[in-house]
Chain A
Amino acid sequence: MRTPFVVRFFSATSTKGWLALAAFAVLTLVLLPLLHLAVAPDHPLHVSAYVIAVGGKIMCYAIVAVAMDLIWGYAGILSLGHGVFFALGGYAFGQYLMRQIGRDGAYHADLPDFMVFLDWKSLPWYWFGSDSFGIALFKVVAIPALLALVFGFFAFRSRIKGVYFSIITQAMTYAFMLLFFRNETGFGGNNGFTDFKRIAGLPITAPEMRVALFALSALMLMFTLLLGRYLVSSKFGRVLTAIRDAESRVMFIGYNPLHYKLFIWTVSAMLCGIAGALYVPQVGIINPGEMSPANSIEIAIWVAVGGRATLIGPVIGAAIVNLSKSFFTQAFPDYWLFFLGALFVLVTLYLPDGVVGLWKRLRQKAGRT
C-alpha cells in the first residue's frame, strides 16, 4: 500500500531538519514576538520594530530564493524574471489593501486616490473581488500561476532553454515593468500602491499586526522549505535533476520534460506570489520598480551566494546579501554596486556551490586531517 501523502510530505524532512525547523519556529514564532511586544522598549532584551521589519522582509526574500532554487538549482532553468511573479502577488494583495483604505484617502472618495486623480468613475474589471479577503488570497496565487503556466507552456514546449530562456524571461519582466509604469494600466503607475491603512479591518501599523505578519512570513518560509524537501526528495525531484543534467537522455528514456518543468516552474511562481503578498503589507509599498530586470537577477545571486541545489543555501544567501545591502546603502552608498557586482563575479568564479558548498569543503578538510 502507498504511504499517505501527509506522511510522505512530513517524512521527507530528516530529523536534523526538523530540529532546525523547530529551533527556527521557537525563535520566530515565540521568542522574537514576545521580546518585541511584552518587553519594555528601554529593556536591554527588547527587540526593536526595525528588527521585526527587516526580519520579515528577509524571510519574504528567502521564500523567493527557495522558489528560485527549485527551478534553477534542481531543474537547471535560470529565470531572470522571477521578480514579476513576486510583484504580481504583491499587486494582487495590494489591490485588497487599497480597497481597505476605504474613504480615508486624500480625496475621501470610494475609489483609490490614483483613480480619482485619473478621473475614473468605477473600478476596472480586473479589480473584481478586491474587496474580499478570500478572493484576494486566491488571486495572489492564481495570477502568478496563470502567467507562469501560459508563459512556461510556450517556452518549454518549443524547448527554449539555457541563455535563450533566461533572456526571454528578462524581456518578460521588462515588458511587465513598462506596462505597470503606465498610469492607464490601472495599478497606480509610477507610484504603485501605498499608504495602506488596515487588513481585515485591523490597523496595519499596530505592533501586533506587524508581529502577526512577521510570524506568517516565518510560517510560510517553513512550509516552503518542507514542500521543497518533499519535492526534491520524491521521484519527481529525481527526474527534475536528471533533466537538469541530461535532458536529451531523459527524453530518450521516455519522460516528457515539458510536464516536469512546467509543474515546478508554476509552483515556483506561486510561492513567489505568496511571498510578494506577505512582503507588501510589511514594507507598505509596491511599485513597478519591483519588476525591473535588475531586481530579478539579484534573486539569482542570493541563490548563488547561498548555494544552489541545497534548500538552506538560498535562505542563507538571501539573508547575507540583503543584510549587506542594508549595511552598504547606509554606510557607503557609492560602493554598494561595486560590492554587488564583485559578488556576482567572485561567487560565480570561486564559489560555484556558495557558502554551503564552502562549509562542506571546510568540514571535509577538517575531517581528513
Chain B
Amino acid sequence: MKPIFLALLLWLFTLPTFAALDRAVVTQLGDEDSDVKIAAIQKLAQSAEPEALGILQALVDGTLQGADGEAITINNRVRREIDGALAALKLFHPDRKIRLAAAKELTVNLANEADPGMAPMLARARDKETDDKVKAAIAQAYALATLKHADAAVRLTAVKALAGSGDPNIKLLLLAMTDPANESEVTVRRAAIAAHAEVKSRLALGETVGRIFSGLSLGSILLLAALGLAITYGVMGVINMAHGELLMIGAYATYFMQAQFRTYLPGWLDWYVLAAIPLAFAAAAAVGVLLERTVIRWLYGRPLETLLATWGLSLILIQAARVLFGAQNVEVANPSWMSGGIELMPSIVLPLNRIVIVGFALFVLALVWVLMNRTRLGLFVRAVTQNRAMAGCVGVPTAQIDSVAFALGAGIAGLGGVALSQIANVGPDMGQGYIVDSFMVVVLGGVGQLAGAVWAALGLGVVSKFLEGWAGAVIAKIVVLVFIIMFIQKRPQGLFALKGRFVES
C-alpha cells in the first residue's frame, strides 16, 4: 500500500502545542485502511491531549484534509469509534458540565461493551478531576472499564465500586458476574452478589419514589379537575358533563396566549403560561356562567335531565373547538423554565413540568380553601351546599350563589386546563376522559368537602400509578372502578361525610 503523506489543515499549524501530539499517529488518520484509522483514533483518545479533540471533531465533520487536499472519508465503524474517543477526550474539557455529560455517556457505552483500553485514560481523568460529582461519575466508568480485567484484585475493586450505582444496565452486568461461568474467582463472585443486591434495592427504591411522584402528579391533575366539579355538584347537586370541556377551554386559552406572545412579545415567550392563567380562568368561567344561565338554571331539581343537557352542551363545545381550531391537536410548548427534570438516579428523572403542576395544584387548592372558609361568599356557598331551603330562608341569595359557584367551578377547571396543556395533548376531545375520573374523586371524597377531594384525588392518583406498574393501565382502571363501587357499598357518603340529617342522599 502506498503511504499517503498528510498535509494537515492549515489551522493545525497555527496551534503551538501541536508538537505534543505524535505526528505519526495523526498521519495514520489519513490511511485508507479503516483498521489503521481506528488504531490511530484509539491512540489519540488515550493521549488525552486537548488538541486531539479538535482533530477528531474535524474528522467527524469532514473538514480534515488528507495529503491530497481532499477531505478524509470515514465509514460508520470509524465514526462509532470516533464518537467514543470524543467522549473520552471531553473528560478533560475545562467546562464541568461537558465533563459530567461525557462521563455519563462513557458509562453507558462501557456498560454495553467493556473496553479495557480506556482504563488508563479514565484513571488519569479521575486523578486530575477536582469536582466531586464528576469524579464519582468517572470512577464509575473506570470501574466498568476494569470489570473484565485479568487481575482478580482489580475486578474485585471494580465490583465494589459499582455497588454504589443506580443503573439498570450495571445491575445486569453485576448479575452476570455472579455466575461461575463468567467469573472464576469466588471472592469476586461474592462481592458481585452483594453489589447486585445493593444496586437492586436502590433501583427498587428509585422506582417506588418515581411511582409515588407520578401518582402525585396524576393526583394533582385529578384534583384540579375535581375541585370545580365538587363545588358545583355540592351546591347544585348536578353533574356538569361539560366539565371536561371547560378544561379544554382552559387549555386552548393557553394555546391562544402562546400564539399571542409568539407574535407580539417573542422576548417574553417563556412567561406566556403565567399570562394564560387569568385568561383561562376568565374564559372558562364566562362559558360556565353562560351554560348556567341558559340551560342548567332551568333544570334544577331534575339531575338526570341536567346530565343529558350538559352532555349535549359538551358535544357542542367540542364541535365548536373543532371548527375554530381544527380537529387536530395543537402544539403547546413548555416554557424553558419548565422543561428538563431533576435526576434522582440514572433511571429516575422527575420532570420539572410535573413538579410545577403539583405546586400549582397546591396553590389553587390554597386559594379555594381561603375563598371557601375565610370569605362571606364561601360561607354562603357552604350554607347552600348544606341546606338550600334553610339558607334561602335566612337571606342567602341562592340563585346568585349558584351562578357564582358555577363560575368559580368552571374557572378552576380552566386553571386545570392550563396545567393539562403542559403535560398532555391539547385537542378538541381532550376533556372527555376526565369527567368520569373527576366524578370518582368527588364520590370517593364525599360531597362538599375540600379535604375529601384532596385525599381522594391524591390517593386515586398514587394507587392507579402503582396498579399500572403492576398490571397495566387498562386493568388498573378496572380495578380502581371496582374498588370505588365496593367503597360506596360501605360508605355511601364518601370518605368525609358532612355531618347533619338528610332525608334522601
- Could you tell me the distance in whole angstroms from the C-beta of B496 to the nearest C-beta in chain A? 17
Contact digits for A155-185, partner B, Cβ 8 Å, 1 yes 0 no: 1011111111011101110110011011000
Main secondary structure of the interface of B (DSSP, over half): helix
Please pick, from A179, A334, A341, the residue contacting B315 in the complex, using a CB distance under 8 A: A341
Check A344–B481 contact: CB distance below 8 A.
no
- Does chain A have a CB within 8 A of B24? no
B440 contacts which chain A residues (CB < 8 A)?
A: 171
Which residues of B sit under 8 angstroms from A162, Cβ to Cβ? 303-304, 505
Contacts of B311 in A (CB 8 A): 297, 344
Name the B residues within 8 Å of A167 (CB-CB). 239, 436, 439, 443
- Residue numbers in A under 8 Å from B309 (CB-CB): 344-345, 348-349
B1 within 8 A of A: no
Which residue of B is nearest A176, CB measured?
Answer: B478
Question: Which residues on the B side are within 8 Å of A179 (C-beta)?
Answer: 474, 478
Determine the chain B residues whose CB is within 8 A of the CB of A338 once the complex forms: 315-316, 319-320
Interface residue ranges of B16-72 to A (CB < 8 Å):
none
B477, CB-defined interface residue at 8 Å: yes
Within 8 A of A (CB), among B343-371: none
**What chain A residues lie within 8 Å of B304 (beta carbons)?**
72, 76, 78, 162-163, 166
Which B residues touch A301, using CB under 8 A? 308, 312
Chain A residues within an 8 Å CB radius of B489:
154, 157-158
Most A Cβ at <10 Å: residue of B239, B306, B319, B481 = B319
Whether the pair A348, B308 counts as a contact (CB closer than 8 A) is yes
**Among A174, A178, A340, contact of B312 (Cβ-Cβ < 8 Å):** A340
A123 at interface by CB-CB < 8 Å: no
CB pair A174 B436 closer than 8 Å = yes
In the complex, chain A residues 37-76 whose Cβ is within 8 Å of any chain B Cβ: 72, 76
A163:B485 contact, CB within 8 angstroms: no
Expressed in whole angstroms, the minimum distance between the Cβ of A199 and any Cβ of chain B is 32
The reply to whether the CB of A135 lies closer than 8 angstroms to some CB of chain B is no
Q: Is B504 an interface residue (CB 8 A)?
A: yes
Q: Is B299's beta carbon under 8 Å from chain A?
A: yes
Q: Which residue, A160, A163, A172, A174, has most C-beta atoms of chain B within 10 A?
A: A163
Q: In the complex the two chains form, is B436's CB within 8 Å of A171's CB?
A: yes
Q: How far is the CA of A158 from the CA of B505 in the complex (A)?
A: 12
B319 touches A348 (CB 8 A): no
Nearest residue, chain A, Cβ from B489: A158
Which residues between 272 and 330 of chain A lie within 8 Å of chain B, taking CB atoms? 293, 297, 300-301, 304
Which single member of B238, B305, B318, B485 contacts A337 (CB below 8 Å)? B318
CB-CB under 8 A from A159, the residues of chain B are 492, 505
Interface residue? A233 (CB, 8 A): no
Q: Decide if A160 touches B315 in the complex (CB within 8 Å).
A: no
B313 A345 Cβ-Cβ under 8 A? yes
Among A80, A171, A297, A349, the most chain B Cβ lie within 10 Å of the Cβ of A171
The answer to whether the Cβ of B488 comes within 8 Å of any Cβ in the partner chain is: yes
Chain B hits for A297, CB < 8 A: 308, 311
Least CB distance from B133 to A in Å reads: 44
A352 CB–B CB distance under 8 Å: yes
Quick check: B488 and A337 within 8 Å, CB to CB?
no
Specify the chain A residue showing the minimal Cβ separation from B437. A171
CB-CB contacts of B431-450 with A at 8 A, as 1s and 0s? Answer: 01000100110010000000
Across the A-B interface, the 8 shortest Cβ-Cβ residue pairs: A344-B312, A341-B315, A341-B316, A337-B319, A341-B312, A348-B309, A158-B489, A348-B305
21 contacts between A and B (CB under 8 A): A76-B304, A154-B486, A161-B505, A162-B303, A166-B307, A168-B484, A168-B485, A179-B474, A182-B474, A293-B436, A300-B308, A337-B316, A338-B315, A340-B312, A340-B315, A341-B314, A341-B315, A341-B316, A342-B312, A345-B316, A348-B312
Q: A293-B436, A348-B306 are in contact. List 5 more A-B contacts (CB 8 A).
A: A163-B307, A167-B436, A171-B440, A178-B477, A297-B308
